[in-house]
Structure 1
Amino acid sequence: MTDSRSGNQHRAQAKAWARPLLAIHRRLLPDDREIGWTPYLWLVYLSFFFIEWFFRPVPVWELALSGLALAVFIGAYFRSFWVGSRQRLRMIVLTTLIGLAITPINSGGIVFFIYAAATAGTLLPRSLALGTMAAVILVVLAQSAYLGLPLQYWLVGTVIGGFVGLANLYYTGVSSENAALRLSQQEVQALAATRERERISRDLHDLLGQSLALMSLKAQLARRLIDRDPQQAEAELHIIEEQAREALQQVRDAVRGYRRASLASESADAHLSLVSQEVEFDYELPEQPLPADVDAELALVLREAVTNVLRHSRAEHCRLTVRPSGQDLHFHFSDDGNPGMIEEGNGLSGMRQRIAGLGGRFHVSTEQGLHIQATLPNALATQTPSGEKDKAA
């Protein structure tokens, strides 16, 4: 009990320390999974700027000027992650000017050209990126020749800057293709939703159109007969009542069919949603059809599990296996993310109730990711080719 409390206290302290750091992080960088935390790593190149100071005295005015240059550069560096190519080009020009101003004083200022070339690789279109990188490298060569810098300095600015810039150019292209793919997937989903709405409207028209038209004619006939032949009018009203009841039942059956989920279709939707967020998803479903109630409930369990991945776990890979074993059915969903502290609720209770309603067992574990397991005993025992329960002879 003491260890548990101590662990909770340590976690609370860690969260308290992390909260202001996360707040600063959100101000410096946009919430983009493709950007992540790597921009902080690239600041390691600034170590080149300070090498020369270990071998000579540094006057106060140079410290002040260098501090101002670094402050302006840091602001431009993080600002470049928030703006488009046109404004980012201004950040590149500003960084290049800082390099031109500082390098005559401190040859380590060549590092600013590396950042300028690296940022140039993120510009769009590709021709603008290549042209800007070439311009930065030409500036490095021209200033190095003018100042007579040693070979290793201008090689650092050109080779490393060009290499990182070309790498960024490649990954920017990949990122643009991924964004286009996500947009295409969203368009496909929107078109699918539109077609589904059109299908529902056609179905409802087919179901109700004839019935309502016939009821309207019967109502008119009953109104004309109500004085001349009350018994016949009453018979017509009974027919209208039966037709209304039948039409209502047809609508209820149709709506029930729309609401009923399918494990196969839900798995395909999950694959589309997860891949669009760069999460791999593999799934294995049984070849034989499942009973309709089991199929629908497991589909909703899968939907809730995928929602948890997209909102909380930051997983990179998920897997679903649904395998029969005898007359039992085993459902296992897993991911490699960080599930955090699992609490009953937020969908877990709903999953548990769905499985319990089918007479199954439900288990959740968080060891090396989230694992959701369910076993449905005799889930296939009443299966027939038509998907209905067998009727005992």
Structure 2
Amino acid sequence: MQFPTAPTATGQHWYQRIADVRSPWIWLAYLPLFGATWFGHPPGVRDLIVSAVGLLIFLALYVYAARAPARRALSASILIMALAFAMIPFGGNWTVLAVYACSTAAERRPARAAVQLVGILVLVSVAATILARLPWYAVAMLALFELMVVYGKMAGMALGEKHGALLRAQEEVRLLAREAERERIARDLHDVLGRTLTLIALKSDLAARLAASDPAAAEHEIRDVAEAARGALAEVRATVAGMNHAGLGREIEASRDALATAGIACDVDGEDLAISAEDGAVLAMALREAVTNVIRHAAATRCTILLEQEDGAARLTVSDNGRGGDFREGSGLRGMRARLSASGGRLRVDVSDRGTQVTAAVPAVAA
């Protein structure tokens, strides 16, 4: 049970919370039935005073239980049932309080303990009605009504718990989605900027060497650096916006230029192969990372880019004649592997003394 505040963090006003069947206040609508027996037998002053005091005690216990229902259900339900029995001599409809006692007991946790407590209270209340010489149908109606109220309460609580679990699951999904988006942006920024920054560094070094002997060529290289920086900025913006879909053909040309700047010969085979835009976008990012690694780490003089489509897969292979040897997979290759895996593809890296070969494959989609 939770008490309403106005307004609440969920946007509900106090009157909306009162109307909520999960609110403890709405169930107090049953309390006026305590005086139902007085219509045929008007109470005396003493009965009214004692009944009023008893109802005030009940409300105090009700509020006490409502503030921490799972922890206080046992003591509160027993005290309310005892109060119901104490009200028998004063003419009020004490069975109303017995029903509230069973309803409070239903909130005990775990649920098995609640069922046991409710069972005991129902048996005790039935025994009390028999001792009070009430008609058999009154005994049966009390037991039935107590069980119906308890069933409704426990079903509502179970629904509330499932609703809470669903909300927590939705929040976890939102957190995972945000984390996945951050990882995507980080992975894409790494892939986008890695080769471009490498190219900028190479051209800047070349411009520095040419500055004294060939100022015109150095100026040309500096202009290329500026153009590469502007292109990188546009790609970063597109990546952050989630709209970075590199074309494979454009990426091949960019890779060829980057390798040439680094003094690495480049051979391309299968460039004219018809590959769908979806597959091409995934392979383009794989090509960018593979070529960046060749430029930065391989110390190679030749790089071969092979595109082929067979066995229902589009395959990209990037080979170099670099130093190979010891190999450790870095964040770039891990990002490439994650991207390919998300597309149903796979990544294979073969390292030997003759160089490194990176193969990226994705299920072929009709072009």
Task: With the length of structure 1 as denominator, give the TM-score of the two structures.
Answer: 0.52
- Between the aligned partners of 2:122 and 2:7, the Cα distance in structure 1 is 33
Q: Is the 8 A contact 1:85 1:124 kept in 2?
A: yes
- Between the aligned partners of 1:64 and 1:28, the Cα distance in structure 2 is 32
- Between the aligned partners of 1:103 and 1:173, the Cα distance in structure 2 is 34
Aligned to 1:48: 33
Aligned pair in 2 of structure 1 residues 188, 107: CA closer, same or farther (>3 Å)? same
Please, which of 148, 151, 154 is the counterpart of residue 163 of structure 1? 148
Aligned to 1:35: 21
Is 1:204 aligned to residue 189 of structure 2?
A: yes
- What amino acid is aligned across from residue 48 of structure 2 in structure 1? L
Is 1:235 aligned to residue 224 of structure 2?
A: no
Is 1:76 aligned to residue 61 of structure 2?
A: yes
- Between the aligned partners of 1:154 and 1:24, the Cα distance in structure 2 is 43
- Between the aligned partners of 1:226 and 1:139, the Cα distance in structure 2 is 101
Aligned pair in 2 of structure 1 residues 89, 220: CA closer, same or farther (>3 Å)? farther
Aligned to 1:10: none
Aligned to 1:172: 157
Structure (1 or 2) with the larger CA radius of gyration: 2
Aligned pair in 2 of structure 1 residues 190, 32: CA closer, same or farther (>3 Å)? farther
Q: Secondary structure at the match of 1:124?
A: coil
- Between the aligned partners of 2:120 and 2:200, the Cα distance in structure 1 is 79
Within 5 Å, give how 1:233-382 maps onto structure 2.
233-257=218-242
Q: Secondary structure at the match of 2:190?
A: helix
Task: With the length of structure 2 as denominator, give the TM-score of the two structures.
Answer: 0.56
Is 1:141 aligned to residue 130 of structure 2?
A: no
Aligned pair in 2 of structure 1 residues 195, 34: CA closer, same or farther (>3 Å)? farther
Is 1:123 aligned to residue 99 of structure 2?
A: no
- Between the aligned partners of 1:184 and 1:83, the Cα distance in structure 2 is 24
Aligned pair in 2 of structure 1 residues 36, 166: CA closer, same or farther (>3 Å)? closer
Once the two structures are overlaid, the 10-residue window that deviates more, 57-66 or 163-172, is: 57-66
Aligned to 1:191: 176
- Between the aligned partners of 1:37 and 1:138, the Cα distance in structure 2 is 27
Alignment deviations for residues 298-347 of structure 1 (CA, whole Å, 9 cap, x no partner): xxxxxxxxxxxxxxxxxxxxxxxxxxxxxxxxxxxxxxxxxxxxxxxxxx
- What amino acid is aligned across from residue 159 of structure 2 in structure 1? V
Please, which of 47, 56, 74 is the counterpart of residue 62 of structure 1? 47
Q: Is the 8 A contact 1:29 1:81 kept in 2?
A: no
Larger relative CO (CA 8 A, sep 6+): 1 or 2? 2
- Between the aligned partners of 2:72 and 2:166, the Cα distance in structure 1 is 26
Q: Secondary structure at the match of 1:123?
A: coil
- Between the aligned partners of 2:212 and 2:231, the Cα distance in structure 1 is 28
Alignment deviations for residues 3-43 of structure 1 (CA, whole Å, 9 cap, x no partner): xxxxxxxxxxxxxxxxxx99699998994985367843x33
- Between the aligned partners of 1:24 and 1:63, the Cα distance in structure 2 is 37
Aligned to 2:283: none
Q: Is the 8 A contact 2:24 2:66 kept in 1?
A: no
- Between the aligned partners of 1:66 and 1:32, the Cα distance in structure 2 is 26
Q: Secondary structure at the match of 1:104?
A: helix
- What amino acid is aligned across from residue 118 of structure 1 in structure 2? S
Alignment deviations for residues 234-293 of structure 1 (CA, whole Å, 9 cap, x no partner): 22211111100111121223334459xxxxxxxxxxxxxxxxxxxxxxxxxxxxxxxxxx
Q: Is the 8 A contact 2:50 2:90 kept in 1?
A: no
Following superposition, the deviation at residue 60 of structure 1 comes to 2.5
Q: Is the 8 A contact 1:110 1:153 kept in 2?
A: no
- Between the aligned partners of 1:220 and 1:81, the Cα distance in structure 2 is 74
Unaligned stretches of 5+ residues in structure 1: 1-20, 260-393
Is 1:110 aligned to residue 99 of structure 2?
A: no
User: How many pairs align?
Assistant: 238
Q: Is the 8 A contact 1:104 1:147 kept in 2?
A: no
Please, which of 203, 223, 246 is the counterpart of residue 218 of structure 1? 203
Following superposition, the deviation at residue 101 of structure 1 comes to 1.5
Percent of pairs identical after alignment? 31
- Between the aligned partners of 1:237 and 1:57, the Cα distance in structure 2 is 104
Aligned to 2:268: none
- Between the aligned partners of 1:24 and 1:138, the Cα distance in structure 2 is 42
Q: Secondary structure at the match of 1:108?
A: coil
Aligned to 2:286: none
- Between the aligned partners of 2:15 and 2:81, the Cα distance in structure 1 is 22
- What amino acid is aligned across from residue 35 of structure 1 in structure 2? V
Following superposition, the deviation at residue 204 of structure 1 comes to 1.3
Following superposition, the deviation at residue 168 of structure 1 comes to 1.8
